[in-house]
Chain A
Amino acid sequence: MTIHNMPSSSTGNGDPDAFLVVEDLNVEFPTPDGPVQAVQDLSYRVGLGQTLGIVGESGSGKSVSSMAVLGLHDAQRSTITGSIKIGGQEVVGLNEPGLRKLRGNAVSMIFQDALAALHPFYRIGAQLGEAYQVHHSSASKRDARRKSIEMLDRVGIPQPDKRVDDFPHQFSGGMRQRAMIAMGLINDPSLLIADEPTTALDVTVQAQILDLLQDLQREFNSAVIIITHDLGVIAEMADDVLVMYAGRAVEYGPCKEILVAPEMPYTWGLLSSIPDVMADTDARLIPIPGNPPSLLSPPSGCSFHPRCVHVDKVPGALCATTLPELLPGGRGPHHLKRCHLANPAEIFRTEVLAEIAPKMVEEN
C-alpha cells in the first residue's frame, strides 16, 4: 500500500477549482432544548484523485457535514448555510430533484455498518441494480443485473453471478462492505464519501477494504472523503487531513504535516491515544481527559479549552474567552490550526512526543 506522493501544492487544500469546495458551512438542528450547532464555519476542498480524511470524536460533526454534501438533511429539521459546490454546482439550497440527480450519481456515499445500511428484505443485486437504474432510466432490469454482477466482481466478491441473488444477511461483514462499495461506485461517481467504511470490521478485512478503495480511486480518479476516528486509516489513505472538534475544523493540512507536526492540542491528544503494537513498552497511551462538549451549550472561547492540558501556556484567559481563528501556523500556508498556543512545535516535541515516543525525540 502506498500513500499518494503528491506535491503539497497540488492537494485540494489550496486548489480553488477543486471538485468539491465547501465554504463556511453551518449545519444547525433546532431541538426542544435549543438549536444544536452541529457544524460551524467549516471549509475544505477536495480535488479529483485526492483523498481528504476527516477525523474527530463521535459528535464532532464529521458525518453531519458529509451528509450535507449530499443534501441528506431534512430541510424542515435543519438549517444549512454557507456553500457547497460540487463540480461548480451549488448544493446548499438546491431543490430536491436537483439533489436527486447528484445523489448516487456524481456523489455517492458508503456508510458504516453495512448490515444496517443495506435493506434486509431485498437481494443484493436488486439493491445495486436499483442504484444503477435510477440514474440510467433507459437501462433494463437485465442491464442493471449485468452491471451489478460486474461491480460485485470488481470489488472482489467470489462467484458474483450467484451471490448477486443473496440477501445481505447471507453475506459476511467484509462482503457486505464490499457490496456497499460496489453500490457506491456503480455510477462512476466523481466524489465518494466513505463514512467510517472499516468500523466494525476486523483488522485484516479493514486492510482489504482500504486497499480496494485506493485501487478503485486510482481507477476512477474520483475525489474521496474518508470519515474516520482511526488515524491509522488516515495515514493509509489521506492526502489531506481535517481534524474536527465540536463542529469546527481545528486543524487542516496535508496528511504528512498533520501526522508528523501537529500544532493543535486536540490532534496531539488523538495521536497520544493510538495504541501501537510496534511501540516500545515504555511508550504510554494517554487518553484525552473529559468528554466531548455538549453542542447545545458549547464552551466559551476555544471549545477544546476545558479538556486542554496546555491552557495555562496561553497568557490571560484567552482560551476561555476568545475563539481562535483557523489560521496558518509556523509550518507554512497549507497547515491551518485553530489554537492560541504561540510555540506549538516546541511543546509537541518536548511534552507530547517525549511522553508517547521518547525515542523519536532522542533521534531528533
Chain B
Amino acid sequence: MFAYIIKRLISGVIVVILVSMAVFALFWFGPEDPARPICNQQTGNRCTPDRLENFEEQMGYNNGFVSEYAAYAKGIFAGRQMEIGSTQIDCDAPCLGYSHRTFNLVWEELIDRVPATISVAAGGAVLYLLLGVPIGVAAARRRGTLGDKLLVSSFLVISSVPYYLFALLAWLYFTLIWQVPILGDSGYTPLTDNPAKWFGGLLLPWLCLGIFGCTQYTRYTRGAMVETLSEDYIRTAKAKGLKPSTVVYRHGLRSALVPVVTVFGIDLGVLLAGTIFTERIFEIQGIGRWGLQAVQSFDLPVVSATALFGAIIIVISNLIVDVIYSVLDPRVRLS
C-alpha cells in the first residue's frame, strides 16, 4: 500500500512537471507576445516594437524557452530576483513570478484566492453528494415506478441545461429580480472574518452547484444501485433475514459507492481547480475567475500558476480516490 502511494506520487510529480512545461510552451510559442501586456501597461498603450523588444529583453523572453523555464522552475524551489521596469523585487520561494497585469506576486495572489475556491467547491460537493446519493438510492429501490421515472426524467432535463445558464438564471432571479435576503447577497467573505456572512454569501453558489451536480450523482448512484441490487449477494443478504434497510445500505450501497467515489474524486478535483462559471457569476474572487482574467489578458505567470495548481489538485484527488477505492473494496487492497 505504502509503496503503491509512493509510486503514484512519483508519477503525479511527473504529470505536474509536464503540465507546467506544456502551459509554459503554449504561451511562449503562442500567437501573442507574453511581454506585450506589460509593455502596453507600462507605456500607456504606446508599445512600439522597440519598447517591446526592451521589455522582452528585461523579462528574459529573449533567453530562449529552456533557460527561461529553468529559471522559472528554480524560482519555485529557491526563489529569484525579478525586475519590473526599473524596480527590483525579491520573489521568495515558492516563486511563481509576478502578475503581468497587477504586478503582484503570483504566489500571494494564489494564496489569497484559494480559500474562496475551496469554500465554493467543498460546499457544492458536499451538497451534491448529500442530495445525489440518497435520492439515487431511493430511486433505485423504486425503479420502474412512476416516481422513479418522473425523477429520472426531470433530473435529465435539469442536467441538459448548460450549467452557466442554470447559475446565471439563479443569480438573476434570486439576486436581481426577487432580491431574496441572504440567498440574493452572494459573494465571498472569509470564514475567519464573519462565519455567518461566509455561509450566507456562499449559499446560492452552493445550491447551484449542489442541485445541478446532484442530478448527475443521482443518475450514477441509481445506475450503480440498480446493478448492485440484482447481485447474488444481495439475494443472500435478504435470505439471511436482514432488514431491507440493512440490505440496501450495508450490502448494496457499499458496493454501489465504488464507481460513485471515482467520479466524485475527479469532479472534486475539477471543482477545486476553479469553479469558473460559479465564481464569475457570483462575483467570487477564486482560482477560476483569476485564471479566466489571466487568460483574457495573456498574463502568463498567472495562467501557469492556475494550471499548475489545477494539475496538483487533480493528481492528489485521484490518489485519494484510489486509496478510498482500496478501503472500500478489499480485492483491490491486496493486488
Contacts and interface: CB of A to CB of B under 8 A. Distances in A.
Contacts of B237: 119
A111 B242 contact: no
B238 A72 contact: yes
Interface stretch (B6-14, B56-64, B66-74, B327-335): B327-335
Does more than half of chain B's interface fall in helix, strand or loop, or is it mixed? helix
B232 A116 contact: yes
A120 B332 CA distance: 11
A209 B329 CA distance: 29
B329 A108 contact: no
Interface string B223-248: 00000000111011111111110000
Interface string A111-131: 101001111110000000011
Contact of A103 (B240, B329, B330): B240
A104 B330 contact: no
A362 interface: no
A120 B239 contact: no
B236 A135 contact: no
Interface stretch (A42-50, A94-102, A142-150): A94-102
A134 interface: yes
Nearest to A180: B236
B328 to A, nearest CB: 7
B142 to A, nearest CB: 9
Given A116-B231, A116-B233, A169-B331, A103 B255 contact: no
A134 B240 contact: yes
Interface residues of A, number: 27
Given A120-B331, A121-B255, A169-B331, A135 B232 contact: no
A131 B241 CA distance: 8
A227 interface: no
Contacts of B329: 120-121
Contacts of B232: 111, 113, 116-117
A121 B241 contact: no
A119 B238 CA distance: 12
B254 interface: yes
**Interface magnitude class on chain B:** 20 to 34
Interface in B305-335: 328-331
Interface in A119-176: 119-121, 130-131, 134-135, 167, 169
Interface in A164-194: 167, 169, 183
B241 A102 contact: yes
Contact of A135 (B241, B254, B328): B241
A105 interface: yes
A231 interface: no
Interface in A56-77: 67, 70, 72
B283 to A, nearest CB: 45
B172 to A, nearest CB: 43
Chain B CB count within 10 A is highest, among A70, A118, A121, for A121
B331 A96 contact: no
B258 to A, nearest CB: 9
B244 A96 contact: yes
Contacts of A135: 241
B280 interface: no
A120 B235 contact: no
B251 interface: yes
Chain A CB count within 10 A is highest, among B238, B242, B254, for B238
B330 A109 contact: no
A119 B243 contact: no
B233 A167 contact: no
A167 B243 contact: no
A109 B233 CA distance: 12
B243 A103 contact: no
A96 B238 CA distance: 11
B331 A131 contact: no
Contacts of A111: 232, 235-236, 239
A119 B328 contact: no
A125 to B, nearest CB: 13
B328 A100 contact: no
A113 B232 CA distance: 9
B241 A72 contact: no
B241 A134 contact: yes
Contact of A105 (B241, B243, B244, B254): B241
Interface string B208-231: 000000000000000000000001
Contact of A130 (B231, B240, B254): B240
B330 A121 contact: yes
A72 B255 contact: no
Contact of B236 (A96, A119, A167): A119
A47 B237 CA distance: 26
Contacts of A103: 238-241
B242 A108 contact: no
Contact of B235 (A108, A117, A183): A117
A117 B240 CA distance: 12
Contact of B242 (A116, A118, A130, A167): A130
A88 B238 CA distance: 22
Contacts of B236: 111, 117-119, 183
A83 B328 CA distance: 43
A314 B244 CA distance: 52
B330 A119 contact: no
A352 B328 CA distance: 56
26 contacts: A96-B244, A100-B241, A100-B242, A100-B243, A103-B238, A103-B240, A108-B239, A108-B240, A109-B239, A111-B236, A113-B232, A116-B231, A117-B232, A117-B235, A118-B236, A119-B233, A119-B251, A119-B255, A120-B255, A120-B329, A121-B255, A121-B328, A130-B242, A131-B240, A169-B330, A183-B240
Given A119-B236, A121-B329, 13 more contacts: A70-B239, A104-B240, A105-B241, A108-B239, A111-B235, A116-B233, A117-B236, A119-B237, A120-B329, A120-B330, A121-B330, A167-B330, A169-B331
